[in-house]
Structure 1
Amino acid sequence: MNNPRIAWVMPIACVYWQVILREFVKAYPQTKIFTSKKHESPKGLENTLDIEVVGKLKVIQFKPRYGQYSSKFAYMSLAIVNRLLKYQPQIIFADTFSLWTLLVSLTKPLGKWKIILAYEGSSPGVDYCYSPLRLLVRRIIINMADAYITNSQVGKNYLIKILYAPANRVFAYPYLVPDSQFLLKHPEAISLPPLTTLYRQKIEIDTGRYKFSENNLLGKKPVFLFVGRLIPRKGIKFLLEACTILNQKGYNNRYSLMIIGEGQQRAELEQFCQNNQLNDYANWIGQVNYQNISTYFRQADVLVLPCIEDTWGMVVLEAILFGKAVLCSTGAGASEIIAQEKNGYVFEPQNAQKLAQLMANLIDNPHLITTMKKKSALIAPKITPETATNFLIKTVKLLG
């Protein structure tokens, strides 16, 4: 099919999707996005995508198990069927196992469209392996789809081994990636709070596509960075426990920790820091606007994502984009991007002892951080909106 009419059907048109679709529409200009909730478009993307909001998203959410995603049911307007029949797409990208994806699947004989299912990634809280009804519905959707994409091998295994998708039609590649153009070119517009453990010097990093300056580590006092919501699932409690272990072993005053984000756990975590004498090392930044996040990445040396579960983990890709070393739990789908002992380390979730050991190793051997940064800088050009779009284009072409 040359220049097919394509529809994207997604519950939420989030910023990350809009960034990818900015590149996708260059290849397939006859593309329209149908969503029930649209996030504000990033600067430069205003009015560049054909987005139609259909109805309103209504979510019934249940209390999650500790450290897991909450079980939920999302209701979206049934009017999506008429909108799609009117638009007459030849191919539909259906994002996740939503009500709309089920409707797209059931009306496929009527609309005569082909379906590509996009499944962000797999984790216990979203796989619903304990729910026969959910699995039945998902297998119906799988049976009607023509191809399947996911960010991770874990997601691919779930689609094949649990939902019985044909292996030759399931493709895994990081397609949810950060906006490299925006992040790397955005000026440093804010000042950092005082971090007394910083000893830095400006250097230039060349990723192969972009050049940017950052502050390089000179002494033995690295800055660890956490970015995310302060909720149990993100596992920051285990990071703070690791810091406590470090201090007990005499590493106090040999590192610093920046914490970016807000959430229900903040008061509890701040109290933990006070009780365990971490206030001199933990810097609570709070919520940061996305246009300012690059400032903090540039000042950090090592990103830490200690999550219990995360279907993907965009912050890992953002850290790699800035040429950072990464400590990431295997609970995040993006942990697959970490080349063990090359650009970082992966570790089991909820293991503060192991995390403390890895942090201590980097503190004791700052040259490892420098080496890992360089490796991340080499990986960065492989996870851009352009590479993600090429993957999506290849998937479209496979459908003929």
Structure 2
Amino acid sequence: IGILTNIPTPYRKAMWEAYSTIEKVTFDVYYCSPIESDRKWQVASASGVSEHYLDGFTLGRSFHLNLSILKFFKRHDLWLIGGYSMPTAQILILLCKFQKIPYVIMFDGISPQKLKAKEKPVLFQWKRFLVRNCLAWLGNGTVGREYAKKLGLSEEKLYNQYLTVDVEHFQRMTTDKEKIRTSFRAKWCIDSSSYVILYVGRLIESKGVQDLLEAYRQICEGETKQIELLIVGHGSYEEVLKQKAKGLTGVHFIGHVEYENIHEAYLASDLLVLPSYDDPWGLVINEAFACNLKSITTTSSGVHLDFHEDANVYKAGDVKKLIELIIDNIYIANQEKIDKTIVSPKWNFEKSKESLISIIRKYHACN
């Protein structure tokens, strides 16, 4: 099996390693680029698979064109192709179509607000053409399944990717929660008695961190309980956010944190907020669940359809509702509903592996 994806990522590394344990199957992973401009990950090589970096070039953040894929596409019995937006992915899909090589579309998600939105007719028909005749659609969650149906794929082609993080790693770290929590708070001068609200992710406008800052400002004006806000990440909107935070006490911008240490931020916090306006999924919610941390997100994040009860979901931009939800969580109001949001569903690499095994069986049945 050949796998085409954009760049190495921490969560994909663990996924490839899970896939590599499938019997009588070998994997070659082809990356279009070592990194993208808005990422700072340092990812070790995945074990159990062969990894290759394709020659080519990138325009902007993620417009990858790697004509060197022409050298490799005939080497594999089956291809897993990471979406269809990259030029390299489109080229590989066309090659598979013309050479009758079975291919699977890996689809990470789409903001729920786009599921019913009208798309540009020519672009939409091009997408439908690219996915038509795929052996299977390995889409993530409810949003992945529903968008596949919108593109015209039949139910029997749809499999859940269960895109996730290394859940077992995060859960192992929780055994030292109090020690990690104390150490992390001391390092960043966070009071041991404070209620800490956490944001993790890129600092770009569409992530909605400006709404979280405004909610924090209003809550602090009327609260006697000590609250602090921890913002982890980097991005083009960072300086704007820092300007908005001027005059607010207890706001900590700590920049990029490597994946192997990110659990410390979750374990030191009491609530995660993902206030996105447009998020295909939102893997930070997976990370929070793995750390048994409560979370709030918006109806614009793909993850909420599979991970959240209505108790901790609001419409993006509704700062008043966000304030209400944060206060509910601070004072454990509506405890029964809130507790439901920290019971993680079976969303792990083993489930993803099971989906791929089913697709491989389908491949053998067709060949």
For 2:66 and 2:312, locate their aligned partners in 1 and report how far apart those are by CA, in whole Å: 44
Deviations 1:291-311 (A, max 9, x none): 221111111111100011111
Contact 1:222 1:366 in 2 (8 A): no
Q: Alignment partner for residue 344 of structure 2, among 379, 384, 391?
A: 379
Partner of 1:262: 234
The residue number in structure 2 matching 1:364 is 331
User: Residue 245 of structure 2 aligns to a residue in which SS?
Assistant: helix
* Corresponding residue of 1:216: none
Show the counterpart of 1:169. 157
Would the alpha carbon gap of residues 158 and 271 (structure 1) be closer, same or farther in structure 2, given more than 3 Å must change? same
Which is further off, 319-328 or 283-292? 283-292
Give the letter for the 1:131 counterpart.
Answer: K
Offset of residue 289 of structure 1: 2.0
| Cα distance in structure 2, aligned partners of 1:392 and 1:155 | 15
Q: Which residue is 1:78 aligned to?
A: 67
Q: Which runs of 5+ in 2 are unaligned?
A: 36-40
Give the conservation status (yes or no) of the 8 Å contact 2:77–2:102: yes
For residue 95 of structure 1, what is the aligned residue in structure 2? 82
Paired residue type of 2:316: P
The aligned residue for residue 38 of structure 2 is none
Q: Where do residues 205-224 of structure 1 align in structure 2 (5 Å cutoff)?
A: 221-224=194-197
Contact residue 338 and residue 345 of structure 1 kept, 8 A: no
- How far the C-alpha of 1:356 sits from its partner, in A, is 0.2
Partner of 1:229: 202
Structure 1 unaligned spans of 5+: 1-5, 62-71, 200-220
What letter corresponds to residue 187 of structure 2 in structure 1?
Answer: L
Residue 339 in 1 paired to residue 305 in 2?
A: no
**What is the CA–CA distance in structure 1 between the aligned matches of 2:206 and 2:65, rounded to whole Å?**
26
Whole-angstrom CA distance in 2 between matches of 1:283 and 1:109: 51
Cα distance, 1:315 vs. partner?
0.5
Distance 2:64 2:236 in 1: 26
**1:392 and 2:362 correspond:** no
CA distance in 2, matches of 1:167, 1:363: 42
Q: State the Cα distance separating 1:94 from its structure 2 match.
A: 0.9
Q: Give the whole-Å Cα distance in 1 for the aligned partners of 2:114 and 2:69.
A: 24
1:299-356 Cα shifts (integer Å, max 9, x gaps): 1111100011111111000000000111011111111233316xx6111111111000
* TM score, norm. by length of structure 1: 0.78
Structure 1 residues 395 and 160, CA gap change in structure 2 (3 angstroms): same
> CA contact under 8 A between 2:204 and 2:237: conserved in structure 1?
yes
Who is 2:149 aligned against? Answer: 160
Q: CA deviation at 1:257?
A: 1.5
Is the CA contact 2:104–2:138 (under 8 Å) kept in the aligned structure 1?
Answer: yes
Q: 1:295-310 residue pairs with structure 2 within 5 A?
A: 295-310=264-279
In 2, are the aligned partners of 1:90 and 1:112 still within 8 Å (CA)? no
Kept in 2: contact 1:323–1:375 (CA 8 A): no
Tell me which of 7, 12, 31 is aligned to 1:12. 7
- In structure 1, the partner of 2:137 is 148
Distance between the aligned counterparts of 2:109 and 2:98, measured in 1? 30
Is the 8 Å Cα contact of residues 112 and 301 (structure 2) preserved in structure 1?
A: no
The amino acid that maps onto 2:28 is: K
Give the counterpart letter for 2:201 in structure 1. G
RMSD: 2.8
The alpha-carbon distance between structure 1 residues 57 and 334, as it changes in their structure 2 partners (threshold 3 A), is farther
The equivalent of 2:51 in structure 1 is: 51
In structure 2, the partner of 1:104 is: 92
2:88 is paired with a residue whose SS is: helix
Q: Given the superposition, is the C-alpha separation of residues 298 and 245 from structure 1 closer, same or farther in structure 2, using an over 3 Å criterion?
A: same
8 Å contact kept, 2:329–2:338: no
Query: Contact 2:5–2:31 at 8 Å: present in 1 too?
Result: yes
Q: CA deviation at 1:30?
A: 1.4
Q: Which amino acid aligns with 2:190?
A: L
Q: Deviations over 1:98-148 (max 9, x none)?
A: 323323332235543211111111138998954333223211112131211
Say if 1:129 and 1:135, in contact at 8 Å, map to a contact too: no
CA distance in 2, matches of 1:288, 1:130: 37
Change (3 A) 1:319 1:138: same
Contact 2:208 2:276 in 1 (8 A): yes
Against the structure 1 CA distance between its residues 366 and 284, is the aligned structure 2 distance closer, same or farther, given a 3 Å change threshold?
farther
Call closer, same or farther: CA 1:81–1:126 in 2, change over 3 Å. farther
Task: Provide the C-alpha distance between the structure 2 equivalents of 1:131 and 1:12, rounded to a whole number of angstroms.
Answer: 28
The question of 1:36 aligning with 2:42 is answered no
CA contact (8 A) 2:110 2:280 kept: yes
Residues matched between the structures, number? 348
Aligned CA distance change for structure 1 residues 396 and 41 (closer, same or farther; 3 Å): farther
CA distance in 2, matches of 1:109, 1:388: 25
